[in-house]
Structure 1
Amino acid sequence: MMIDNDPIAMRKVYYDAWQKELKGLPLTPMEIIIVDIIKRHPEYHPIFTEENFEKLQTEKFALDHNPFFHLALHVTVAEQIGADRPQGIRELFSKLLKKHQDKTIAEHKMIECLAHVLVESFMKDAASSEEQYLESIRKLI
């Protein structure tokens, strides 16, 4: 899992992975995940040009319009599926994928559930509920 409280450093992780991909350089396992996600979001490709990235490194985005937060949620979901943690999430993803026939759409559905649970736990100042998260995904199937 990628955890860093420095948003500029985290943004650079995405930028560096994309630049390595464009240059045909070898990628780490985490960079492979990041690049796959960026490839499926062509609307974000302009962010990762050197000129634009320099300007956007310190940009303050509204949470619901933050491309870096969106990418981070994708990475989180990819890691959850890979580790099957919370237990059963891999099977739920498979069912969503079968229903929608599109990996990105299935992940976006899961991201909506994850974001809702995270915001709710933040508002209640409580730990997020894995069961609530899984149940919200089950309702989509």
Structure 2
Amino acid sequence: MFTPSSNDVRRFFCEALRKRRAGEILTPMDAIAADWIEQHPEYHDELADADAAVARDYAVEGGKPNPFLHLSMHLSITEQVSIDQPRGIRAAYEALAARVGEHEAHHGIMECLGEMIWSAQRHGTQPDTDAYVECVRKRVR
């Protein structure tokens, strides 16, 4: 299993943006990441310098959003929807996207994904994927 460090993740996103801007060939994952980066121009300056990005602290106490966490969640949701894992996430996403648009649907799903992870960590249990999908479905109603 591939388990990149936070520095690896930061460098990946910075490199995807650099390649897109330079007109270089992108891997499929680079292309997906670059597409999400383009939809978040507020992160472009932070992703322009990989060394600075690696050195930056995004502690909750600092009050500044972590663009790498946000973009990683976009990638995770994109993958989940593409393979319908957990089962039902694709239909829930499509219904939500039809109501609020694709980008806003992702942001709504992020909240549900965050709740699922937080709950599992808090209770020391496996993530409850049924509750996660149901959380997304409730956003459609």
Task: Tell me whether the two structures share a fold, i.e. TM-score over 0.5.
Answer: yes
Give me the whole-angstrom Cα distance separating, in 2, the residues matched to 1:135 and 1:70.
22
Normalised TM-score (structure 2): 0.91
- Residue matched to 2:72: 72
Paired residues of 2:10 and 2:53 also in contact (CA < 8 A): no
AA at the equivalent of 1:113: C
CA RMSD of aligned residues (A): 1.6
AA at the equivalent of 1:89: I
Match of 1:60 among 57, 62, 66: 57
Q: Deviation at 1:58? A: 2.3
Q: Deviation at 1:128? A: 0.4
Normalised TM-score (structure 1): 0.91
Are 1:136 and 2:140 counterparts? no
- 1:11-44 CA-to-partner distances (Å, cap 9, x unmatched) read 1010111111001111111111101110111100
Give me the whole-angstrom Cα distance separating, in 2, the residues matched to 1:78 and 1:3.
18
- 1:44-74 CA-to-partner distances (Å, cap 9, x unmatched) read 0111223xx3223122213572111111111
AA at the equivalent of 1:95: A
- 1:69-101 CA-to-partner distances (Å, cap 9, x unmatched) read 11111110000011111111111111011101x
Summarize the Cα distance change of 1:2–1:106 in structure 2 as closer, same or farther, 3 Å threshold: farther
Paired residues of 2:82 and 2:90 also in contact (CA < 8 A): yes
Q: Extract unaligned runs of 5+ from structure 2.
A: none
State how 1:1-141 maps to structure 2 within 5 Å. Answer: 3-4=3-4, 6-50=5-49, 53-63=50-60, 65-100=65-100, 102-141=101-140
AA at the equivalent of 1:62: A
Give me the whole-angstrom Cα distance separating, in 2, the residues matched to 1:113 and 1:71.
16
Give me the whole-angstrom Cα distance separating, in 2, the residues matched to 1:118 and 1:74.
15
AA at the equivalent of 2:84: D
Q: Extract unaligned runs of 5+ from structure 1.
A: none
